[in-house]
Amino acid sequence: MIVRCVQIISPTSGEVVSDHPGIRIGVEYPVLEVITTVRRVLLRLPERPDATAERDTPGLWDAAMFTVVSGRLPDCWVAEVGDGQLTLAPKEWQRPGFWDDYFDGEPSACAEYERLRAEIFAQA
């Protein structure tokens, strides 16, 4: 699945803003994960804070910021329902604590992320 950013909604204030360091209007992004709750839909997108970063800092963004360019879903995505939300993502990323492990730099979580990120990109 590929989306194009058409507006930026600040993750902290919820207000529409003209720019943000993590995303740009007009740019297309592959979607790594979709999380839906009663109140909102979030898309996890890959981000590199700067060109020297060793790894992505994938962030969650409001789906209202995007239009869908390609609706093709990656083969590795599965649906998971729990805690009042529906998640579409690789099963490995849906285990409790995966994202904490990834952001803490735990090697096996980082390797899983890179492997599945490459698979998602290849199918985008």
With a cut of 60, say whether residue 48 has pLDDT above it: yes
pLDDT, tens only, 23-46: 999 999 999 999 999 999 999 999
With a cut of 70, say whether residue 51 has pLDDT above it: no
Q: What is the pLDDT of residue 11?
A: 85
The Cα–Cα gap between 75 and 77 comes to: 6
The whole domain housing 71 covers 2-123
Question: Domain tally for the chain?
Answer: 1
The Cα–Cα gap between 122 and 107 comes to: 23
Residue type present at position 20: H
pLDDT, tens only, 56-102: 889 999 999 999 999 999 999 999 998 899 999 999 999 999 999 99
